[in-house]
Structure 1
Amino acid sequence: MDTLEIANKLVALCKEGKYEEAKVLYAPEAVSVEAGAPPGQAREAAGLAAIKAKGDWWVANHEVHSAQVAGPWPHGDRFIVGFRFDVTMKSNGHRFTMEEMALYTVKDGKIVREEFFYDTGE
């Protein structure tokens, strides 16, 4: 698949809430980079197992009421996807809207890097 095909497939899966199924689009050595480190974790997760663990942490600690996905916006071997989530933190009941942009890099038909951009409050 080329970059645009991967981008369109990722967006379609995310719009259906199938984030785990989207991991088939990733290379085994893919790297995920957050704008800020989640509690008790590093900003960077390397490899599919680490990326899955980061996703599992998110699901365990947040209740997502709704999600919107926009894009993709392609640019060569990269593309951007926009996300907007209505979320409640399970630990304290704080409900908020999270908006983020994700930049994906594709190599040899697989996503090799994802970088998330959002307000960290810093």
Structure 2
Amino acid sequence: MTTMDTMEIANTLVELCRQGAYEEALTLYASDAVSVEAGGPPDMAREVRGIEAIRGKGEWWTSNHEVHGMIVAGPWPHDDRFIVGFKIDATFKTSGERFTMEEMALYTVEDGKIVREEFFYAA
């Protein structure tokens, strides 16, 4: 199996996010990848480690939010890192409050896998 370079990983991640194929996107991550939020979700740490913890964050998001639409921009590469922009139109399932959220995510790649993702937004 050929290892993808950073730009191939970046382009693949962006395309999978545009398709809503988040489970498939996790195949781009190292098993011990780290995910860091600008502000931690309720009852969750800001930083989680490992693919199962990252999967759990995604499951928390989908169980608590209805996403009406998402714009995915980028990627913008820089050496072994790249940035992706997200604009999300969603509703909190518990309150019914609809909101728009913009965030940027910085991804770091080592040995053909994403090893770190960091999200930037107004927490």
For normalisation by structure 2, the TM-score amounts to 0.97
Deviations along 1:49-80, one digit per CA (max 9) or x if unpaired, are: 00001100000000000011000000000000
> Secondary structure of the equivalent of 1:32?
strand
> In the alignment, is residue 105 of structure 1 matched against residue 99 of structure 2?
no
Of residues 90, 95, 98 in structure 1, which corresponds to 2:93? 90
Counterpart position of 1:37: 40
> In the alignment, is residue 75 of structure 1 matched against residue 78 of structure 2?
yes
- Structure 2 residue ranges without an equivalent (≥5): none
Of residues 107, 119, 122 in structure 2, which corresponds to 1:119? 122
Distance 2:18 2:40 in 1: 25
Amino acid at match of 1:113: R
Alpha-carbon distance, 1:20 to partner: 1.4
| Aligned-residue CA RMSD (Å) | 0.4
Aligned structure 1 segments of 4 or more residues deviating by more than 2 angstroms: none
Distance 1:94 1:44 in 2: 26
Alpha-carbon distance, 1:19 to partner: 1.2
Aligned residues: 120
Distance 2:23 2:99 in 1: 23
Amino acid at match of 1:109: G
Counterpart position of 1:18: 21
**Identity across the alignment (%):** 70
